[in-house]
Amino acid sequence: EIERLSEQLEEKEREAQRLLGPPWPREVGGRGGGGAERERARAASHVLCRSLADETHQLRRPRPAPAHMCQHLAKCLDERQGGQGAAGEQSPE
């Protein structure tokens, strides 16, 4: 999963570089707003990179082992059921 995210990040960075490439070909053509287009591309690149970085961070965080998590949940369930059973025994109706 981390490799897939790294590849996506590299692809987005290449796309951003392509969009942010040398300014002269677009400006020489006489089209106005090249600066705004570059700024939008830069902002989009920043958002995409940030999103991928956050997702990568989430995936790298240590997670409890499934067996440990199951044991913890079973213990919590036993404690809840034990508390309810004790209350039920006091009122036999």
33 burial level (CB within 10 Å; 0-12, 13-18, 19+): exposed
Split at pLDDT 50, 70, 90, the class of 85 is low
The pTM (predicted TM-score) of the whole model is: 0.36
Computed over every residue of the chain, the mean pLDDT equals 75
